[in-house]
Structures are given as structure tokens and as C-alpha cells.
Structure 1
Amino acid sequence: MTALRAVQGTFDELGTALRDATFCVVDLETTGGSASAGSEITEFGAVKVRAGEVVSEFQTLVRPHTSIPSFIAVLTGINDSMVASAPRIDTALPSFLEFAKGCVLVAHNAPFDVGFLRHFAGELGHTWPGFDVIDTAKLARRVLTRDEAPNCKLSTLARIFHASTTPNHRALEDARATVDVLHSLIARLGNVGVHTVEELSTFSSQVSTTQRRKRYLAEGLPHSPGVYLFRDAQDSVLYVGTSKDIGARVRSYFTSSETRSRMGEMVGLAERVEAIECATTLEAQVRELRLIAAHKPRYNKRSRFPERAIWVKLTREPWPRLSLVRSIGDDGADYIGPFGSRRTADSAVAALHEAFGIRQCTGRMPKVPSRSPCALAEMGVCMSPCDQSVSSVDYQHEVERVREAMLRDPAEVIAALDLKMARLSDQTRFEDAQVQRDRLRSFLRATARTQRLTALTTCRDLVAARRGDDGRWVVHVVRYGRLCAAGVIPDGADAREWVERLRIGAETVLPGFGPAPAASTEETERVLSWLEGEGTRLIEVDGDWMCPVRGATRHLATYDAVEATSVVPFDERRMPRTVHQPTR
């Protein structure tokens, strides 16, 4: 597949260095504790700092629409007469937003101050700039011990850090004190390897020093779509992941945004990170699946063993039967699946046996059987070919009905199980009725999955394009369900010639057996999801990409809706699910 050329990065690409960031330290005085409850801002105070130096300051009183409560006036010293000639919030807020433009916003107990700012920005129709926010109170709780600070009030921290300004519940003075607190906290954190705004905003004492110090592993990684592999000292792959921005994603493993304990353990073992750039996001997703299947990294929980999938097979023999198998062979048999567990596969088989009378015994049976009938035959739920109770012609007719339900139209299975569910419900045997419902759902999901896979895996060559977020056309070449080329049409290129070169240079692919794609099932379903996405255009299709008109997909919405409104056991809710989207 087409890949982009890697560009060597620098350590600064790991984030915005603290020395290069401009911070706007803000404090507000208000008439109460909640903007949503009607409280208003009475004073803005802000200090803009960069590289430890004050750049500029901002201060203004604000005239609220209601009187300032007396206890607030006593606390802050701001009364109604002081704000009588002050501007309203609709004038003060835009001035502050312009002052803070492009800065990292800092506040002590930031949810309070930022909450007021966001509330009035929305009320006045201003788009919130989406500032990065640093909360010095939250940061102090993570940095300081109880022995150092009994609490993290601004007055307490100002005293501990010997701030040049004493906070006094006036906005500008409190903002100045917060500046000193911020600088002192940054100095502390520099000793444990926090050097960027991103590391500062996500700092947590839960991230070990060892884990944090390994942030150098992200140095030089590209900021583009692709796959990353964490490797240990023996160069074994520990974990494989994918991202639209490899550098940013890997950097997050060394901050508190990564909360999974297993990942902390993995980072502790990692010695290097390998990046594989990809032309498109879909190519990155596919490469991730292939690498996980190839290396089986112990810290990846999913997609490690695609070979363990289970298929339901309608055998080709004198007296066909349903069988569970691990792979599809070149034997002309019919298959549905794959299933994520034997339990769901057994459930689908049970649904077919509820509707049809083919034999349920195992093993091959000679053309002229001479066995004694089993209990199922005596109960009338099996056509009993074992004692020649049914002719070969009649049995083959029943097999054709099973094949039709599996591959094209599940109507007979639906009718049979719906009837049984109704009878059980009339007898108030609701749990037994739920078993039948679950069997039907397992069967429908498997047949729909097979029909969607088969529709794509029969296409020898398919080329599709979709306009990306940047306006350029993303192109993929798919053969027998396998992604074999990916790229983005360069600006100014002749689209037809470029696509043809991509198609000619694509990987040569041989078809799989039956409905099995020439790739893992999960890969083909990722490709299908992209192909079925909004805005995708087909450039070339060599084959017939279509699903049966009366196929299983059209029935799924009904049964999934029933499941969503039903109370089910906890272990059932954990069953793997396939997302089905309408095909073209």
C-alpha cells in the first residue's frame, strides 16, 4: 500500500513547551455561586504571562442587573455604588475574550470561573474559543502533600509559595497571586519531567515517574494517520494501536489521560515505539488488524486470534447435516458466520433445527443407512434418514430449504420461531420464549453477516473514493474483500490517471473459499463500513456487489429493537455484536 514519507520530528513536537506558551490567569468576582441560578459577574481580573514574565493585565468592574448581596459586598468590598457606572457583561466579556485570545486559560478552581465565562458567552451568542484550561487548585492537590498544605485554598498556597501578592477577593489581586502559585507549581513539576502544556494539563500523581519519563519514546513520531507498535527490550511487540495522529496518540500514554493499568504496565516494559505511516485512516485500521493477528501482542485484548472464529457448515454428503468448523474449505459446502463464540453458533444451529427436520446426529452416513432411529426421530423433530424413514429426494428437498434460509431468505426460520415464541408466551413460559428469540437473533445476525461478506468477496476488483475532511479524494482498491491499495489524490493530479496507476500497482489477491474473504473477516467488515459510508463513490466494480432482496439484514432492526427493550442476563449483554448497515 502507498505510504507517506516519514519526516524526522523534534522533541518540541511532543507538545507546546511551557516556556513558549502564553497563559491568561483569570479570576472573577460574582454575586453568587452559580451562573445558571442567576448569579452574575461583578469583576474581571486577568494577567497574561509568558516565559515567567508578565505581558499585560486586564481589569474591569461589571454592572450586574440585580443588586449585589450584602454578604458578597462585605466579602469582596464591591458594592452597588462602585459598579453603577461600570459596563454591562455584554461589553466586558467580549473585551476579555479578545484579551485572552490564543492563550492557555488558568484559574484557581477553574470550573467556577470557566463555568461563568461559558454561561455568559452562550447567553450572549458568542462562540466559546475552546481554551486549554489549567486549574491550579486541582494541580496543587496532585503535587502537594497534606503535610505541606492542609488545604489548597488560594490564600494557603500563596502563603506557602511566598506569593508577591496577597489574595483579598478582588479579581486582579487574586489573579496576580494565582500567577505566583502557577509558576511555583511548574517549577515543582519540572523536576518530574513535565515540560509541556499538554503534560501540565493532564498531570496526575497516578502516572508513575517511570511512565512519565518514557515520554521520549514519542519523540520524532509523525503527526499523521498510521499504526504504532510498542516493543520491549527483546524487540517483541507489546501493543499495536492506530490513530489519525500517531505522535499525539503515543504521547497520551505518558499522561493521566491514559488510565488503564495494563497500559501503564506495558509502557514500563516498552523500550521503543515503531510508527508505520499510512495514506488513509482505513489503511491504518487494516494494518493494525493484520499486525495484531501476526504478532498477537499480549497487551491487545481484541483481534488477536481471528483463526478461532467458528462457522456453521451445511455439509456436502449423501445425507447433509449442520456442523461447527473453524475454517472454510474448498469443498463446495455452504457456510454462515463467523461467530465469536461456540455458544452463539450453537444458538444459530438450534434455530435451524427448530424450523427444519434435517438430522442432528454427527458423523457421515452411508447412502443406504441401516441404523436405529434416535430419540429425536421418535419425537418427530428429525426426518430420520438413519432408518430410511425418508427418501433421498425428500431429504434433499429439506436440505435445499435449509440452504435457502441460510443464504437467501430466512423467512421460514422466522415464521417457525415466531410461532413457537407465541405458543410459549400464551403458556406464560416467557423464559423459554426468550431462548427462542435469542436463537433467532443469533441466526439472523450470522446470515446477514455472511450475505454482506459474500457480496463483497465475490468482487474481483472494486475501486471507490470519498472526499476527505481536507477536501482531497481518498481512494481505496479492494479485491475479494481485501484492501490492497490506498491513497489520496494529490492536488493538481489527473484523477483518472492517478487512480489507474494506484489500481495497477495494487496487491495481487486470490479469492478465498466460499463466503470467506481474502482477508480476516474483521478487516473486510472495516472495508465494508467505509464503502457504505456517506459520500463514497464507486469508480469501478468488477463483479456483482449485491445482497439478496429478501436477505436477513432487513429483519435485524425489528429483533434488535426487541432486544434493546428486553431485560437480558448480564452475560448475554456481553455477546459480541456485528454492526449491520444497509448495502447498495
Structure 2
Amino acid sequence: MTPLGVQTSIGDLGTPLSEVTFVVVDLETTGTSASRSRITEVGAVRVRDGEILDEYTTLVDPDTLIPAEVTLLTGITQSMVATAPRIEKVLPELLAFLTEDPDSVLVAHNAPFDTGFLKAACEREALEWPAPPVVDTLRLARALLPVPKVRNHRLGTLAAYYGASVTPDHRALDDARATVDVLGGLISELVPLGATSLEELRAVSKPPTKAQRARRHLAEDLPDRPGVYVFTDSRGHSLYVGKSNNLRRRVASYFTAAESRRRIREMAGLVEAVTPIVCATDLEASVRELRIIAERKPPFNRRSRNPENVRWVKLTTDAYPRLAVVRSVKDDGAPYLGPYRSAREADEAREALLHALPLRQCTHTFAPPERTVPRCVLAQLGRCGAPCDGTQGRDEYGVHAEEARTAMTADPAVVVDALTARIGELSAELRYEEAASLRDRLVAFLRGARRSQRLTALASVPHLVASRPGDRGWETIVVRHGRLASCAVLTPGTDPAAFLNSLTATAERVPPGPGPVPNATAEEGELILDWLTTPGTHLIEIEGEWTCPLRSAEAHDRMTHWAHGRASAQ
């Protein structure tokens, strides 16, 4: 699960095009509909670094008539395919050719057409589609060769433009061979633009602007190390903050055709300098990025700029506690659920608790001298015990308040059981929209409970040292009360005891505080938790206990993922 509010970006760019195996595919078919038409011929060419390694081609018996207009276009007649193998024999052979190198990239001109037919054939034959990365030469050509530089973007036009060795003629192998030459020509267009990796090739949607090209030099002297980069303008103001495991390569990508985001292309015209901050590990880079964005609030960063703009669900400490949606956590001993990105999501979680427990929803203070007020509609409907008019005493009401506290901080079973039972009843009555609404409330509650329980457990630990193997040695972190206090890499040949003593002695001193995130943002806490719970991580030192309740909200993690149509991350 992506930590709350963490900025996302395209991945670090890094597979050189010269090392990529491309499998260029072309199909001839009986029509244009992947569901109704069938494949009549397959052609595929495997190529790497401009060298053709292998080819595969065959006619295919479509088990249906070939329309006359298709025969006129392709030259493939009914008699030609009469003795050809059927798709159930050809398809496994083509898939084997495509996946012989497991990292192969499928290339086609108007790729959605070819991949659509192949996926439909796989579905009919009960074969798994391997889902390789796809490069569409038609899409590339439209981005790199605008009209009138070329008359149009048909395969024949592009083959002639690049002087292809084969003229496409609507036969699968010849068209695939022509596409190989077109691909090579398009790649040659990209190299001067600074795009030299597969990831950049696939990201191209339009040529870089003049301003982007003029600033490529800003990446030249940056290190090939993990860290944070800060784009600044002529006045030294921060425009954009990002992080990468390779600073030079990532910054360079902003000034190539791979960068297609409109806002970022606009920003490129304002950049005057790039400040690199080298970090020991990816975790340190991620945490520093969050902290710098929150501090400087760069205008071109959309996420993580305002971590304080969150909501919490609080069980108040009144004589008769109630649930309230608040903006901050106080040192008042109250349990808090969250944080939530929006008030709407926090309200959904609150409603889940109120569905399961008859807590009051009024704002009556019950301040001494205690006085009664007329009972509200909710009390008349049985959804509140009516402490307001004295019907329910403090001890009786306190039982429900304590159940709410337990559900928020330890075992959410009372909420889960009540809502899942009602969802089942609504579904049985075919009231699916109401059931879905109740499900969303339950999911919001569980997510907030899981988040706050995990963060609270980490924040309660005064001192924790953990380590795990990395590319350059053992990545080691110091966490104090939920905040990353120090980070370094134990390289081979270094004295572990001296390294650990130095790391802990120089680590930031972090005092305890109230709530799930007393000294850091929730985003930082979740990044640390994800790092700590990665297989292969070793605990080196710990003061106190780092535990979560046995029947905590995390036990229902699969339910929150299922509700949004994806498998559990565990």
C-alpha cells in the first residue's frame, strides 16, 4: 500500500536501449474486431541493438471465410490458409518466441490492434497472456515526426522516410521487418533528445521543448547516487523536489522527451539550478523529500506539500464521550483514528463506529451542574442511550465508550461484526448500493485504525536500530519515537561495533510525544514501517516494546484491499 500522501513519479530510468531485446510483431487478420475476426498470418522478428537475432512467421487457418476486400489488401486467399496450422498450434509457438527472453519488449505499429487480437486469442484458447512491456511505433512517430515532416504516420510512409530495407505490403513478416527499420529510425530521433533508455522510450509522448533541451547540462555533474534533488529558479526559490536512487539519471530525464507532464514541462522553463542532496539509502531520500516538500511547499509539487491538512476521528474525554472529526492530535489521553486525507473519509469512519455503537452525536457538554435536555431523534430511534435526559447513566454509557476505545486502539471486531452482518442483510435484499456505502464506511474505519495502531506502536519505541542488506552494504537506520533519527551504510571491512556506536551517538535526539505521530508525519512513519517490515530486515537494538494488538485492524487488511478490487499486499 502506498504510504499516505507520498509523492509518486515515474520510475528511475535505466535500461539502455542497446541491451533491450525487442520482438517486433505484425498480424494479418480477417477484419478489425478482435472479438469477431480471426488471425490469418503472424510475423515476428527478434532484434537487439539493431541486429536481427531470429524470425518467426506462419499462415494461420482462421476457421472462417476471408472477406474479398481483405484478400485484395493482403493477397492472402482461402486456399493459402486451407492447409495452414490453426491458432491453437500457432499461438503457443508465438508466445514462446515472444518470451524466450523474459525481458523482451513487444513492438508493433498500432500496437493496440495487434495486442488486442493476441489477448483475445489467448482468452479463447485458455492461455495466459504474458503481458510484456509494449512499444507502439505509431504513437512514437506521432510524437516525434509531426505533420508536415511526414505526410502521415502509416507504416509504408515511415518505412519510405527512413529508407527501410523492406517495403511493407500487408504481409506479416515483411511488415514486421519494415517496423524493425522504423523502430531504429525513431530511436535515432530520440538519442539527440537525451532519451537513451527503454523507460524513456516508452514514456515519450511529444518532443522536449526548447527550454527542456537548453537545460540538459544541469544534470551533467550530478552523482550517480541515491538522494533528493531540488529544482530552483533564478531567485533561489524551490520549484520542485523529488528523489531518486540515481540523481544524475533522474534529473536528466526531466529534460528529455520522456517527461510528458504538462506542469513539469512548464517548470523546466523556469529552472536555473539543481541542488542535489546525496543520501545513504533510498529510505533516507524518501524521508528527506517529504520533509523538504512540507517545509518549502514547492509550487510544482502536488502531493505531500501540506501534511498538516489531515483529519482524525477522536473519542473525546468528556463525561459522556462522543466521536468528533478534528484537525490535530492533542496530549489529552483521547484515542485518535487516522490520519485521513479528507474530512469525507474521516466522516465515513466515524459513521462506521456510530453504526456499531450507540454513542451520542449531540454536543451537549454535561458541564456541572449537570442538567438534562430533551432527548433527540436518534435517542427515540434507539441509536443513542439518551444520557442527555438522564435515561442512561455514566456507567452504562461508559461501557459503549470503552468498546469504541477498544475498537479504535486494539480489536475492531465490534465494528467489523456489526457492519459485515448488516452488509450481508442488505445484499440478500438486493440493496447493493446501500451495502456498498456501508462497506466503504467499514473500509475507511479499518484503514484509519490500522494506520493509527501501527504508527502508535512505532512512536512508543524510544530507540530502535535495524539493518538490512543493500547494494553497497548493510543499510542501517536509527528510529526514535517514530522519527528517522539517523541512517548510514555499513560497508564491507568496517568495524560493526565502532560503526554502530558512531551512528547512535550522532543520531537526532527525539523526545516522546502524544498521539500516533508525535515527531514526524504519518507519511514518514509509514515509510519507516514499510522498510522495517521488509523481509531480510534485522533488529539490532530496541528499547521498550514494539508490538501491535493480536486482533488489531491489521488482521482485517485483506478486507480493505478486497473492497477496492485488489489482492492483499501481504
CA drift of 1:260 comes to 0.9
- Counterparts in 2 of 1:181-200, with a 5 A limit? 194=193, 197=196
CA drift of 1:379 comes to 2.0
Distance 1:453 1:37 in 2: 59
Aligned partner of residue 486 in structure 1, secondary structure: strand
CA drift of 1:580 comes to 8.4
CA drift of 1:399 comes to 1.7
Aligned partner of residue 211 in structure 1, secondary structure: helix
Q: Does 1:380 align with 2:373?
A: no
Aligned to 2:290: 289
Amino acid at match of 2:324: S
Aligned to 2:445: 443
Q: Does 1:390 align with 2:387?
A: no
Distance 1:462 1:425 in 2: 47
CA drift of 1:415 comes to 2.3
Give structure 2 stretches of 5+ with no counterpart: 1-12, 30-38, 60-74, 76-104, 116-131
- Counterparts in 2 of 1:27-66, with a 5 A limit? none
Distance 1:16 1:425 in 2: 49
Q: In 2, are the aligned partners of 1:214 and 1:254 still within 8 Å (CA)? A: yes
Amino acid at match of 2:442: L
**CA 1:32–1:311 in structure 2 vs 1: closer, same or farther (change >3 Å)?**
closer
Question: Mean Cα displacement is larger for which, 482-491 or 348-357?
Answer: 348-357
CA drift of 1:47 comes to 13
Aligned to 1:535: 536
Distance 1:150 1:510 in 2: 68
CA drift of 1:58 comes to 11
Q: In 1, are the aligned partners of 2:204 and 2:259 still within 8 Å (CA)? A: no
**CA 1:226–1:185 in structure 2 vs 1: closer, same or farther (change >3 Å)?**
closer
Aligned to 1:125: none
**CA 1:236–1:389 in structure 2 vs 1: closer, same or farther (change >3 Å)?**
same
Aligned to 1:250: 251
- Counterparts in 2 of 1:264-279, with a 5 A limit? 264-279=265-280
Distance 1:477 1:354 in 2: 42
Aligned to 1:240: 241
Amino acid at match of 1:410: P
Aligned to 1:307: 308
**CA 1:418–1:189 in structure 2 vs 1: closer, same or farther (change >3 Å)?**
closer
Aligned to 2:481: 480
- Counterparts in 2 of 1:23-422, with a 5 A limit? 146-147=147-148, 149-150=150-151, 194=193, 197=196, 205-375=206-376, 376-422=378-424
Aligned to 2:546: 545
**CA 1:368–1:405 in structure 2 vs 1: closer, same or farther (change >3 Å)?**
farther
Q: Does 1:515 align with 2:516?
A: yes
**CA 1:378–1:277 in structure 2 vs 1: closer, same or farther (change >3 Å)?**
same
TM-score w.r.t. the length of structure 1 is: 0.69
Aligned to 2:125: none
Aligned to 2:93: none
Distance 1:418 1:342 in 2: 24
Q: 1:446-488, CA deviations, whole angstroms, 9 ceiling, x for partnerless residues?
A: 11111111111100011111111x2621111111111111111
Aligned to 1:83: none
Q: 1:372-415, CA deviations, whole angstroms, 9 ceiling, x for partnerless residues?
A: 23322222211212222222222223222221121111112222
Q: In 2, are the aligned partners of 1:425 and 1:433 still within 8 Å (CA)? A: yes
Q: In 2, are the aligned partners of 1:529 and 1:581 still within 8 Å (CA)? A: no
Question: Mean Cα displacement is larger for which, 230-239 or 270-279?
Answer: 230-239
**CA 1:58–1:276 in structure 2 vs 1: closer, same or farther (change >3 Å)?**
closer
Amino acid at match of 1:399: A
Amino acid at match of 1:532: T
Aligned partner of residue 243 in structure 2, secondary structure: strand
Distance 1:392 1:407 in 2: 22
Amino acid at match of 2:300: Y
Amino acid at match of 1:360: Q
Amino acid at match of 2:443: R
Aligned to 1:99: none
Q: 1:455 aligns with which of 454, 457, 478?
A: 457
Question: Mean Cα displacement is larger for which, 507-516 or 472-481?
Answer: 507-516
TM-score w.r.t. the length of structure 2 is: 0.70
Q: Does 1:434 align with 2:447?
A: no
Q: In 1, are the aligned partners of 2:364 and 2:388 still within 8 Å (CA)? A: no
Q: In 2, are the aligned partners of 1:453 and 1:517 still within 8 Å (CA)? A: no
Amino acid at match of 2:453: Q
Amino acid at match of 2:383: V
Distance 1:442 1:48 in 2: 50
Distance 2:392 2:333 in 1: 24
Count residues in correspondence.
488
CA drift of 1:185 comes to 10
Amino acid at match of 1:239: Y
Aligned partner of residue 431 in structure 1, secondary structure: helix
Identity %: 40
Distance 1:381 1:59 in 2: 73
Distance 1:370 1:464 in 2: 55
Distance 1:445 1:15 in 2: 35
Distance 2:158 2:445 in 1: 64
CA drift of 1:519 comes to 0.4
Aligned partner of residue 396 in structure 1, secondary structure: helix
CA drift of 1:521 comes to 0.5
Amino acid at match of 2:551: R
Q: In 1, are the aligned partners of 2:322 and 2:360 still within 8 Å (CA)? A: yes
Q: 1:5-42, CA deviations, whole angstroms, 9 ceiling, x for partnerless residues?
A: xxxxxxxxx9999xxx9999x9x9x9999xx988689x
Q: Does 1:501 align with 2:502?
A: yes
Distance 1:562 1:16 in 2: 36
Aligned partner of residue 324 in structure 2, secondary structure: strand
Q: 1:106-144, CA deviations, whole angstroms, 9 ceiling, x for partnerless residues?
A: x99899xxx9xxxxxxxxxxxxxx9xx998x98876666
Q: 1:233-274, CA deviations, whole angstroms, 9 ceiling, x for partnerless residues?
A: 222211111111111111111112111111111111211111
Amino acid at match of 2:256: T
Q: In 2, are the aligned partners of 1:459 and 1:545 still within 8 Å (CA)? A: yes
Q: In 2, are the aligned partners of 1:155 and 1:167 still within 8 Å (CA)? A: yes
Q: In 1, are the aligned partners of 2:222 and 2:276 still within 8 Å (CA)? A: yes
Q: In 1, are the aligned partners of 2:109 and 2:136 still within 8 Å (CA)? A: no
Q: In 1, are the aligned partners of 2:155 and 2:168 still within 8 Å (CA)? A: no
Q: 1:42-87, CA deviations, whole angstroms, 9 ceiling, x for partnerless residues?
A: x99x9999xxxxxxx9999x99999xxxxxxx9xxxxxxxxxxxxx
**CA 1:233–1:183 in structure 2 vs 1: closer, same or farther (change >3 Å)?**
same
Distance 1:536 1:338 in 2: 27
Q: 1:414-465, CA deviations, whole angstroms, 9 ceiling, x for partnerless residues?
A: 2222333344344443322332222222111111111111111100011111
Q: In 2, are the aligned partners of 1:405 and 1:412 still within 8 Å (CA)? A: yes
Aligned partner of residue 439 in structure 1, secondary structure: helix
Q: 1:519-540, CA deviations, whole angstroms, 9 ceiling, x for partnerless residues?
A: 0011000000000001101001
- Counterparts in 2 of 1:10-25, with a 5 A limit? none
Aligned to 1:119: none
**CA 1:317–1:562 in structure 2 vs 1: closer, same or farther (change >3 Å)?**
closer
Amino acid at match of 2:554: T
**CA 1:215–1:386 in structure 2 vs 1: closer, same or farther (change >3 Å)?**
same
Q: In 2, are the aligned partners of 1:227 and 1:241 still within 8 Å (CA)? A: yes
Q: 1:342-362, CA deviations, whole angstroms, 9 ceiling, x for partnerless residues?
A: 111111111222222222112
